Structure 1
Amino acid sequence: MKKTLALLFAGLAVAGLSAAPASAADHYVSGNVGLSWMNDSSIAADEVYGIDEISFDAGLSLLGAVGCDYGDYRLEAEIGYQQNDIDEVNIINEPEFAVTSGVPSEGNVSVLSLMANGYYDINLGGVDLYATAGMGVAQVSFEDFRYGDAIEEDGGSMDFSETTLAWQVGAGLAVPIGTNIALDARYRYFATTDFSIPQGKSDANINIASHNVLLGLRVGF
């Protein structure tokens, strides 16, 4: 049910963008590449033992978008991808419930997102300063995830994915470098709502959040 609602939300968001009065707007495409730093993810489970927190290494972030520019504001549909290696986990042990921190881990987490974004542009004499916010849907996938003894013993890994709602906010600068071409430098904070992952005999709740610094181009047409 949750996945169906998320996909429906994304479809409605993109449909709403498509229904905007495009005849009154300039159109553009954009692409950005940069670095992603994921926050540590805390896990909430019914059981009091198991994985308590997951830490990640810095990773890659990619964005592509098509939009409508109305002067002071813009609307766009964006597809994004980010991937980060899993660094370590903290574990609550049974039966003493002691916490073991910094347990070595392997694998990666990737996020594929579809967002509807709004922008507010401020012209600073040829350079545009902008603020942005967006909502949409994200598919979060853990691949080849294993930790502790499973690494030393070459044990099996865990693979799972979930679709959930997502949101983002950010700011940036756009500097013209040619006719209808601008260099785009931006920061964004991206986060998902809670979703479920396997945890022992039951599921646990977790969310993903990241800081992203990106550089790219925006091309008008």
Structure 2
Amino acid sequence: MKTTFAKTSPIKSIFAALAMSGVSIPLAFAADAVIEQDPTPPPPAVVEDAALYGYYVAARLGFALPDDTSFGLDTAADVPTGVSTAYEDWNLSGAVAAGMEFGNGFRGELELGYSSFDVESHRLTALDTRFGGSDAFGDATAITGLVNGYYDFDLGTFKPYVGAGIGMAQLDFDNYGINLAAPTAGLPAGPVTAIDDSGYGFAWQVGLGTSVAVTETIDFEIGYRYSGIENVELTAVDGTDTDVSLDSHSVMSGLRFKF
């Protein structure tokens, strides 16, 4: 039997060789790429969120308008009397604080405050007699330690806030007395001190205000607060024990330094 071989033209051979080369070269590169590829996938990208916590210190200064206070005298006498004291309209008040921003508008702080109140007049309730000007003397000082909590409303440039706090206070009634032109109700003429004592009591405050960013790390704040010091036990010079409370309105401004 005769075997017949098909003849292949040179042109067809060249095209066949090129076709084979064109397939084999990409496959070789693909194989190298698979071998050189790191089998360990890259870690997921970490997106840093805004800090939820931040610390700050604050310094505040303002003026306080206290309500009248009262204390008793000679409760064992036939005609015991009380003393009602009015204060000057504006009195110095200041505070320093250290706090933390918790995120979502909340922040808390520890605050140490100081207030000084100058006496304007004393009134003896039993005699219905008022002593003012140079005939009334004395001043009160209050040192407070408070734990305050605030909520800030983020409105962009301005951040209004509401807040409240509780703590303890030392209240000092320093040399409260009157000048008598003549002996009155058994008291001698001249300066008569009714009470000169200090004690401790529960303290609280509620307030509102607003802050504005001065720089990225400094905020200016201004606000109003109503505060109280409750049931401070004081003893008058005649031995009469009495509970004294002092409430006041204040307007304070200051700076918060964040870090």
Q: TM-score, normalised to structure 1's length?
A: 0.80
Aligned residues: 195
Greater share of strand: 1
Contact 2:170 2:198 in 1 (8 A): yes
* Structure 1 residues not aligned, in runs of 5+: 1-22
Structure 1 segments of 4+ aligned residues over 6 angstroms from their partners: none
Are the structure 2 counterparts of residues 170 and 163 from structure 1 closer, same or farther at C-alpha, using a change threshold of 3 Å? same
Write the mapping of 1:11-160 to structure 2, written as runs, cut at 5 A.
Answer: 25-43=53-71, 47=75, 49-57=80-88, 58-71=90-103, 72-93=105-126, 98-103=127-132, 104-149=135-180, 153-155=190-192, 158-160=195-197
Q: Secondary structure of 2:210's partner?
A: strand
Contact 1:45 1:205 in 2 (8 A): no
Contact 1:49 1:92 in 2 (8 A): no
| Distance in 1 (alpha carbons) for counterparts of 2:222 and 2:144 | 20
Q: Secondary structure of 2:138's partner?
A: strand
In the TM superposition, what whole-angstrom CA distance separates every residue of 1:90-121 from its partner, at most 9, and x where no partner exists? 1134xxxx422345411210000000000011
| Distance in 2 (alpha carbons) for counterparts of 1:160 and 1:29 | 33
| Distance in 2 (alpha carbons) for counterparts of 1:159 and 1:42 | 14
| Distance in 2 (alpha carbons) for counterparts of 1:106 and 1:46 | 20
Find the partner of 2:213 among 158, 172, 176: 176
Are the structure 2 counterparts of residues 46 and 73 from structure 1 closer, same or farther at C-alpha, using a change threshold of 3 Å? farther
Compute the displacement of 1:62 (Å): 0.4
Q: Secondary structure of 1:123's partner?
A: coil
Q: TM-score, normalised to structure 2's length?
A: 0.69
Q: Which amino acid aligns with 1:167?
A: W
Are the structure 2 counterparts of residues 52 and 25 from structure 1 closer, same or farther at C-alpha, using a change threshold of 3 Å? same
Are the structure 2 counterparts of residues 151 and 78 from structure 1 closer, same or farther at C-alpha, using a change threshold of 3 Å? farther
Are the structure 2 counterparts of residues 111 and 218 from structure 1 closer, same or farther at C-alpha, using a change threshold of 3 Å? same
In the TM superposition, what whole-angstrom CA distance separates every residue of 1:102-158 from its partner, at most 9, and x where no partner exists? 454112100000000000110112211000100000000112322132997245574
Higher relative contact order (CA 8 A, sep 6+): 1
State the percentage of identical aligned residues: 28
Aligned residue in 1 for 2:244: 206
Compute the displacement of 1:77 (Å): 0.3
Q: Secondary structure of 2:153's partner?
A: strand
Q: Secondary structure of 2:214's partner?
A: strand
Contact 1:49 1:91 in 2 (8 A): no
Compute the displacement of 1:202 (Å): 2.0
RMSD: 2.3
Q: Secondary structure of 2:156's partner?
A: coil
* Structure 2 residues not aligned, in runs of 5+: 1-50, 181-186
Contact 2:163 2:208 in 1 (8 A): yes
Compute the displacement of 1:80 (Å): 0.1
Higher-Rg member (1/2): 2
| Distance in 2 (alpha carbons) for counterparts of 1:141 and 1:68 | 31
| Distance in 2 (alpha carbons) for counterparts of 1:101 and 1:69 | 49
Compute the displacement of 1:193 (Å): 1.3
